[in-house]
Structure 1
Amino acid sequence: MRQNPSFAMTDVPEIRRIVHGHPWATLVSATDDGLVASHYPVLLEEGRDDLTVVGHVGKPDDLVHGLGQRELLIVLQGPHGYITPRWYGEGKAVPTWNFVSVHLSGVPELLSPQENLAVLDRLVAHFENLAEDPRLMWERPNDAAFVERLEAGTVGFRLTPTKVLAKRKLSQNRPDEVVETIVAGLAADGPYRNPALADEMRRAQETRRAARETAR
């Protein structure tokens, strides 16, 4: 991902917010046989305030990626969507795509079976607790033997990134009135409705305004 200083996202709490809210990740490795990509959810590590993430892969993806032996790139995609040129006014314009993306890279640490079980338990709870009647990993009809067999088919990892690249391209290069038009278009009913992207643009716009006020 090519970085643009105008779109750079460097605030760690903001990056953590994106990782927490959009845990479905693409894992990319460069192997002797070429690039390989897999798709798994990741979670921020508990008890830390950095960008360390934990996750798992199903066997034999650990061998395919050389997990723990070479650099792993984790790509997370926040809100994104199409921006029609009609929102730019009557002048010449072409469409674009607004997005928020986070790239975390480093050599992951492999987890013990006990650590992996704890991460799998957290992962299930992370999504099941959205429901009023969550079905957690250790609850019946599951039993310990069943859960442990499932764990044995996976490999857990922890990645503390040595490189972080985060980008928030949300029309920051446009005048405030154009941004407001885009946000209104994304929030309205129609073919380009995208409330999540509209909310993310509002957040970025508020940050820009606060920075301008501070600079005065």
Structure 2
Amino acid sequence: MPVYGITHVWAQGDAMTRAVALLLIAMSILSWSVIVLKAIELGRLCRCTESRFWNTDGLGSGMRALGEPGTPFFDLASTGQAAMLHHAASHGGIELSDWLLRSLRASVDDTATRLQRGLGLLASIGSTAPFVGLLGTVWGIYHALLSLGVSGDASLDRVAGPVGEALIMTALGLCVAIPAVLGYNTLARLSRGVVARLDRFSHGLHALLLTGGRPSAAAMPGVVTKERA
């Protein structure tokens, strides 16, 4: 009596069965790579404390408190500073508040787009992996029934083994899809949290650059600002 299992599926499978198995393995590797890389990136951003910006004595020292160039909060502050200099050099043409708001909004949108990279791949894998596994199952059952028809032996032990073995593909598809869906939901929630923090920071930065005064604590939830002398 043959011993059924994953190794038997691979050994006895045809090109279609092996292609489905390899595709599921590739999808699993891709999804886990995206999950790990995005988790590291978002974890680093979640640990950023933009509140330190408001407890400094000026824009320059505040930007140094935000970290290094390339981080979203530093880039947002740098964009605001560059927008002010550009407006002063161009001698108007558009209201300063509108120009600054547009520049800050564009920076936030760019960061939001960058944070979404890879999440579309996770969503696609999570939605298609079960169907890829189902394709392998249907193909395996089809060949199992053909083999039974040729042999003429339709006893339970001859039917249950090949059919149950074919269902392994569906199980593999679910094993690929479930982490991808859970990873997508978690990473999407974390990225939305970072973008919300950037939005609040941009509003406070807009007020600071226009008026020279820091926003009140009520206008910046979760941020404790240092009183100005």
What TM-score results when the alignment is normalised by the length of structure 1?
A: 0.25
What TM-score results when the alignment is normalised by the length of structure 2?
A: 0.24
Q: Which has the higher contact order (CA 8 A, sep 6+)?
A: 2
User: Counting helix residues as a fraction of each chain, which structure ranks higher?
Assistant: 2
User: Counting strand residues as a fraction of each chain, which structure ranks higher?
Assistant: 1
The higher radius of gyration belongs to 2
